[in-house]
A and B are shown apart, each in its own frame.
Chain A
Amino acid sequence: MLQMTNVRKIYRTELVETHALRDLTMSVAGGEFVAITGSSGSGKTTFLNIAGLLETFDHGTYILDGEDVSGLNDDDRSIYRNHKIGFIFQSFNLIPDLDLFENVDVPLRYRGLPAAERRERIAHALETVGLASRMKHIPAQLSGGQQQRVAIARAIAGRPKFLLADEPTGNLDTVMAHQVMELLEDIHGSGTTIVMVTHDAELAGRADRIIQLVDGCVLAEEHPHTQEDTLIPAMLNGAEPLAAQL
């Protein structure tokens, strides 16, 4: 599903260059649920932005769903994002003056789907997250957990192959975080590939695989369900990792 090879991303200002990703090589298989962990500044968000085609990178190749998307122009990246990727953000990112129906409708509008199909997909997505009865509410009338469920409905309404979640439970209390995780697990169960960035070791432990990033490189991988750990030798032999091992 996702194959990044030697991806490098450098942020440049007049005074300083920041190497956010250093020849990152990573792959995610179709239908996999992968958690990305790492300390602040380890490159998690940059990885997610590049994986989601929200940002370009300086070097390397990126194959998404069998196609090389490394050199796509801005318009094509928009189309790819719209058709293949669903996003879930830490701060929900709902549009405050649109009701739930309209919020979920946003990516479908840009896909140019007919009204009837959009209605059917929105209803189904909101039903999946248990908010079908609140279509006409605006986000401010919902709790944080409910808002994140709306964001999940928006992400899945387009029926993407690939779901990217950036700290999806970061702004939620434990109970709501678990509800959201269960929802993500259900979606994963239906065959969607999920890559989730999280600080929460417990939530990461519910994924098929945990990848730890340090200084823009993969430091280690873990398969929590099989207790199989892998340290990446290239990283250990190379420049000094800053973070502790898992």
Chain B
Amino acid sequence: MFNYNLRLAFKSMQRNPIMTALMITAIAVGIGISMTTLSVYHMMSSDPIPHKSDVLFAVTLDSWNPLRPFDDDRPERAPHQLTFHDAERLVALGAGKRQTAMFESSLIIEPLNDEDLPFEATARVAYSDFFAMFDVPFVFGGGWDKSADVAAEPVVVLSRQLNERLFGGENSVGESLTMEGVRFRVVGVIDTWEPTPRFYDPINGGFQEVREMFIPFSLTRMMELKSIGSDWGWKWEETNTFEQWLNSEAVWVQYFVELESADEREEYVAHLDAYVGEQKRLGRFERPMNNSIHNVGEWMEYHEVVAQDSKVLVGLSFLFLVVCLLSTIALTLTKFVGKKAETSLRRALGASRKMIFKQQLVEVGVIGFSGGLIGLVLVMLGLEGIEYLYDSPGGLARMDWLMVFTSVVVAIASGMIAGLYPAWRVCRIPPANQLKTQ
């Protein structure tokens, strides 16, 4: 019977092509707009590292001003970055399975050929654990080992784009590269890596594509590497020399630790408390003890990676879908009222109300499906447009299979919902009503 109803649906759609087109368009536009915003929202709020988001933790210590909290609106919050010397000490203490302190810097790369010009590239200054902690994919080589961290070896892991620019995309492991007068050895090239959001550094932009290179944290002192990310300070201090800057109370280093079990987490927080307790005895950390660890999900919420505006936008776009559905309901009613005589005849010839209801639902389902398919195309165009307008890197404006599936389901469901009331009205038509008047 489904095939029969499907055939009838296509015939009915052909009978009224303009009205059918209007219904499909209404659904397609509604789906296109609502699913475009939902797709962006979905990508913004998705878990960037689902298999590890519960074992990776950002660390916060409250080293801030004893007289006022870091965030007046949320006084319970500690600064979301650490001082350089706290970060360096915590890594040295080595609690946790893996840990890395990191910040974003910028280096001038000297040309490999005489005809090229030097150029500036961003670098993430981190520890060797970074790559294993965050499951960074490699196309060539790998990360550096711990000995390079300890010895401050000038080694570098390139991004795919940088490797393309410098070495034409060839395997550059073992090649040399001069940055800021220091000769670096390439140990690895990462593959395309688009964690969305960029969870390990939401402070400096949660939706930036990973195009940076990576160098050891221990090079900071030797090369006097400065952060190009955000930094905050609360205390007047002499920072005329780089060493003074490193020893200041300014917070500018992000810190992540990998902890696999609840026990490890408990131990780690105790370890932080012990460290801060020791610092308190030295006259630092004058605020009440406020050390915490935040898993990836909590960290994204902490930084409000998905802005409230985005949620409002999704709500508004779904309201628009409702308006489109109401239009579709009106069109469907008009269309079905035009089929009163046929429905009456079918009822007379033995169709039950349920059969008529199903027949109408198949028709609106087909219309919903068609609207959904066109809506999908509109979503893709919409996402392309967003990418073009905002130059959104990091795969924010893209659709995954879940969203494709959701779009089609929402479209069919929308069609069905739009058709429920008209179908119910039609199936209530008494069989004798129209037979004499045709």
Contact = CB atoms under 8 A, between A and B. Distances in A.
Interface of A: 45, 49, 52, 54-55, 74-75, 78-79, 81-83, 87, 89-91, 93, 95, 97-98, 106-107, 109-112, 154, 158, 166
A49 to B, nearest CB: 4
B20 to A, nearest CB: 14
Interface in B340-357: 341-342, 345-355
A158 B351 CA distance: 14
B interface residue count range (under 10 / 10 to 19 / 20 to 34 / 35 or more): 20 to 34
A158 B430 CA distance: 22
A69 to B, nearest CB: 14
Contacts of B438: 89, 91, 93
Nearest to B434: A93
Contacts of B352: 74-75, 78-79, 110
A166 B354 CA distance: 27
Nearest to A83: B350
Interface in B391-431: 430-431
B350 A54 contact: no
B11 A98 contact: yes
B436 interface: yes
Nearest to B5: A109
Nearest to A112: B1
A107 B350 CA distance: 6
Nearest to A94: B345
Contacts of A158: 350
Nearest to A164: B348
Contacts of A87: 348-349, 435
B43 to A, nearest CB: 45
B436 A166 contact: yes
Nearest to B351: A110
Contacts of B430: 54-55
A97 B15 contact: yes
Contacts of A106: 345-346, 349
B350 A45 contact: no
B355 to A, nearest CB: 6
A62 to B, nearest CB: 15
Contacts of A54: 348, 430-432, 435
Contacts of B4: 109
A81 B354 CA distance: 15
B435 A89 contact: yes
A97 to B, nearest CB: 5
B13 to A, nearest CB: 11
Contacts of A45: 436
